[in-house]
Amino acid sequence: MSAIKAKYKQLALIRENLRIAIRAIRSNRVRTILTICIIAFGIMALVGILTAIDAIKSSLTDQFTLMGANSFTISSRGMNIQIGENRYRAKNYSRISYREALDFKSMFTEPAWVSVSFNASSLATVKFGSEETNPNIGLLGVDENYLNVSGYEIASGRNISPDDLQLTRKAVLLGSEVANTLFTTGVDPLGKQVSVAGLKLEVIGILKSKGTSQTSGDNICFMPITAARQYFSRPNMNFNITVMPMNPANLDIMTGEAEAVFRVVRNLNPRDESDFNVTKSDNIVALLLKNIKYITLAATMIGLVTLFGAAVGLMNIMLVSVTERTREIGVRKAIGAKPRTIKNQFLFESILIGQLGGIFGVVLGILIGNIVSSLLKSSFVVPWIWVVTGIIICFIVGVVSGYAPALKAANIDPIEALRYE
């Protein structure tokens, strides 16, 4: 029974300290609001920037997934490829021929989409009637699986079919921006003939827009790889092989299997080094996310420096509050308040100010961060780890800033305090 009474008395004391803390905050509104704003600014900078970074990470992951991030490419080491600090070229190796690419496609029997492609032109001009594009259109020779592995989708019309490849049909898929440039009068592009780099091709499909945020863009055209080889032939043509597992979880396993199969295609001995690159497309995402961590570190430092300034300001306010309320402290001690009670009262006040600043800062930070998220057309992001971390940091700031003033208040001599003016 006595234990219950003691607990009830303790809860009543906590409520009383909280009530006094709220009253003290109200009586010093200007200084309190300024301190809360400083703390809120620090937390807002921390949570806001980190929320924006989480939104950017989510957007990057989604965008590269649409571009076929769960895939890998086999390419010649003659290409100068460098991702991050890893350089993949030591000398010019043999190109990947069309025969080797087809041999790999027939030998690789794992459940995956395998596509063979090559760059026919990077500076093509597409014309229809009096309309024409700028000479910056990418023209690729592709097979029937290329749309699956690259993340493109058909908006209207159809994809390149095996019959198109077998019959070497002069067909073309237009990127959305190319189609919008050429067909501005509402004419249905399907079935029309356009001139691509001087070659007449029939439009069989229009690609869905990937948006301006995509690195590939929509200024692109695809034609059957057999026709592209025939009309855009050049010496030492080099082909790329792209593989996308039907189950993304098998990406790492299939990367190793594909390397083994292509070593057989290239007739390499077990001791020979692979004379080609196997590059996972998610390496680009990993590189970007790796560089973003430095922004995260900078944002954290900005927030912590601001919070340090807020802690100094909060301590100053609490010291001034102790000085101004010296007589009140003397009265409370004279009627029986213990030093511990006085100390807890001022700690409550300091912690309450810190938490108010933290809550406002977290709300503002999430709002600002998600403004960036909306601009990136990403989903609403709440960085719960940083929200909880921000509240904990504000609690620590309140305790650290309020402890010295609370200790000073607790040690005031009640007789001297009652005589203080």
In contact, 277 and 52? CB cutoff 8 Å: no
Q: How many CB atoms lie within 10 A of CB 259?
A: 15
What is the structure's pLDDT at 170?
A: 93
Give the position of tokens 């800062």.
361
What is the structure's pLDDT at 203?
A: 94
Q: Given CA atoms 170, 171, 177, 180 in this order, what sign does their dihedral have?
A: positive
DSSP character for 28? Answer: T
Q: Which amino acid is at 359?
A: I
DSSP secondary structure, 45-83, as one string: HHHHHHHHHHHHHHHHHHHHHHTTTT-EEEEETTS--EE
In contact, 379 and 373? CB cutoff 8 Å: yes
Q: Indicate the pairing of strand 137-142 with strand 82-83.
A: unpaired
151-188 burial, b at 16+ Cβ within 10 Å, e below that, comes to bbeeeebebbeeebbeeebbbbbbbbbbbebbbeeeee
What is the structure's pLDDT at 91?
A: 45
Residues listed for the chain: 421
- Measuring CA to CA, how many Å separate 366 from each of 40, 51, 409? 12, 6, 37
What is the structure's pLDDT at 79?
A: 47
In contact, 225 and 142? CB cutoff 8 Å: yes
* DSSP H/E element including 138: strand 137-142
Pairwise CA distance, residues 103 & 97, whole Å: 10
90 torsion bin: left (phi>0), alpha (psi -120 to 50), beta (else)? alpha
What is the structure's pLDDT at 214?
A: 44
Which structure tokens are listed for 177? Answer: 């921006």
Stated pTM of the model:
0.57
In contact, 225 and 168? CB cutoff 8 Å: no
Q: Which amino acid is at 188?
A: D
What is the structure's pLDDT at 148?
A: 86
Q: How many CB atoms lie within 10 A of CB 277?
A: 19
DSSP character for 97? Answer: P
What is the structure's pLDDT at 8?
A: 66
In contact, 125 and 106? CB cutoff 8 Å: no
In contact, 402 and 347? CB cutoff 8 Å: yes
Q: Mean pLDDT in each 10-residue stretch from start to end of the chain (421 residues)? A: 65 71 73 80 78 72 58 72 48 76 91 91 89 89 91 90 93 92 85 90 91 62 94 87 84 87 88 81 65 74 76 80 79 79 82 85 83 71 79 84 84 72 58
Helices (H), 205-250: 225-231
